[in-house]
Each structure stands twice: as structure tokens, then as C-alpha cells.
Structure 1
Amino acid sequence: MPNGTRLTDVETVTERGSYRFTAADRFTNDREVVLVPCEEPPGVRAWVNTCPHESQRFDTGDGVPMRDGEVICPRHGSLFDACSGDCDNGPAAGTTLRAVEVAVGDGAVYLTDDGYSFRHEGGTDDGDPGSTSHLSL
């Protein structure tokens, strides 16, 4: 079993097509991360849930749009290889997704990246009660 935080089963990622979670970076900023299936070992890759071209989220709660092993940016249609994160087409050509290290063991996916700590399943705004202030301006 890999050292790290258990995120989900590999089967969940392949059945859903993706899995979204929130992790804190080294500066304690919450970042959304997505797991996507990949045909190369270990079978799953993790990427920060943002297109490097225009900061568009891939998964806004309905899963990552994918086709033929590529992540599709919903804003401009650029395609990113799900295994390498590289884009060679559209407005995002020449960019690469920001990787987050994960490992697979015993059918489960673990967050192993020292730069991130697991916060919760889902997006950064899932379950956010919003402002609790009773002040009005």
C-alpha cells in the first residue's frame, strides 16, 4: 500500500470517468484536483482542475469532459492528453496540465504529492455555507 491519503477506488474513477477532490497546496490555498483514467500505468492521473490557458475548470461538478483519452477544455475545446497532460491543439497548444502525484495500490488511489494535503471530496465550493455575517451594507 502506498504512503499517502486514500482518495477513492480506481474502479470509481474509471466508472465515473473522473473524480474531483479538494487539496490544500503548500500555502494552504485550496485547489481542486481531478483524477482521470489513463491507459498507461498506474491507470489514473491527477491534474489540477484548471486549464492553463484561461483558468477554466474542467470539472464543475458534472465530471471531466473526455474523448478518446483526452481531457477537453469546455471553454475553448483544446484537448489535453489524459496521461501526459500535454496539449498540441487549439488556443492551449504548447501548454501542459499541472500534475499532482498519486499512486495506486490494492485497487485504490492515494494522494502522494508532498505539495498537497487532502481536504475533502468534491470541489472547493461544495458544502460552503457562504457568509455567516449578519451585517448588511
Structure 2
Amino acid sequence: MVDGTEIATVTDVPELGSYLFTAEDMFTNEEEVILVRCDDDPGVEAWVNNCPHESQRFDRGEGAPMRDGEIICPKHGSLFDGCTGECDNGEAAGTTLPSVEIAVEDGVVYLTDDDYTFLHEGGREDEEGPGSTSHLSF
């Protein structure tokens, strides 16, 4: 039995895109988190929904843009590996997405990170996404 809060099922996480939820960090700040599919076990990874280069949200409520297993920053087009969170190109090269600990058991995804408390499905209501300067089209 997993010691954590049920977030979603693996089937809720789209093959291409992301599943968005909001959690509270240890300082009571609301933080958006995305679940993305990954070929490595456990088949899903969780990342803070923010490009570490310039504070850009990946998923703005319709799923993070992805291509070939990589999360695409909507501002500059940097690509982050969906399994490792690492970026080796573009403006964000050399950065890694902040991870959020999860566990998967019997097809259910649980939040197991002691630094976060699940609040609700979907994103925060208080922000609008930034404009894009990416050279990539979706």
C-alpha cells in the first residue's frame, strides 16, 4: 500500500500532453504540477509546471506541449526530457525541471512528496499564461 494522496489514474495522463494539478508546498504556496507519460518505470513522472529558465508555465490548462517524449517550453522552445527533466538545448540548456515525488500502484498515481499537499485537479485560477516567443509551432 502506497503512503500518499491519490491524484489520478495512469490512463488520466494523456499519451501526449500532461495532467495538471495544484499542490501546496511546505511554505503554503500553491504550486502547479504536471504528470507526463514516460517510458521508464513507473510510466509517469511529475514536474513543477514551470520552466526553470524564465518562469513560464508549460501547461496552461490544455496540456503541456510535447514532442517525442519531451516537454516544450512555450516561450523559447527549449525541450525537457519527460523522464529526467533535463534540458540540453535552447535558452534553458543545462537546467533540470524540479521533480515532485509520486508513486504508481495498480494504475493509480499517488503524490508521495512530503514537501507537497494535494489541493485540487487543474491549475491555479489566479494567473494567465505568458506570451510565447518560441520558434516552434504546435
16-25 vs 30-39, which moves further: 16-25
Could you list the runs of 4 or more consecutive aligned residues of structure 1 that deviate by over 4 angstroms after TM superposition? none
Paired AA for residue 96 in structure 1:
T
Paired AA for residue 25 in structure 1:
D
Instruction: Give matches, 1:102-121, under 5 Å.
Output: 102-121=102-121
Instruction: Look up the SS of the partner of 1:11 in the other structure.
Output: helix
Give the aligned length.
Answer: 126
Aligned-CA RMSD value: 1.1
Q: Deviation at 1:12? A: 1.1
Distance, in Å, in 2 between the alignment partners of 1:21 and 1:32 is 6
2:42 is aligned to 42
Instruction: Give matches, 1:95-134, under 5 Å.
Output: 95-125=95-125
Instruction: Give matches, 1:20-31, under 5 Å.
Output: 20-31=20-31
Q: Deviation at 1:29? A: 0.3
Q: Deviation at 1:17? A: 3.0
Instruction: Look up the SS of the partner of 1:96 in the other structure.
Output: coil
- Runs of 5+ consecutive residues of structure 1 not aligned to the other structure: 127-137
1:131 is aligned to none
Calculate the TM-score normalised by the size of structure 2.
0.88
Distance, in Å, in 1 between the alignment partners of 2:4 and 2:81 is 25
Q: 1:88 to 1:16 in 2, by over 3 A?
A: closer
Distance, in Å, in 1 between the alignment partners of 2:82 and 2:27 is 27
Distance, in Å, in 2 between the alignment partners of 1:52 and 1:21 is 18
Q: Deviation at 1:13? A: 0.4
Instruction: Give matches, 1:24-103, under 5 Å.
Output: 24-103=24-103
Distance, in Å, in 2 between the alignment partners of 1:91 and 1:15 is 26
- Runs of 5+ consecutive residues of structure 2 not aligned to the other structure: 127-138
Higher radius of gyration, 1 or 2: 1
Sequence identity of aligned pairs in percent? 67
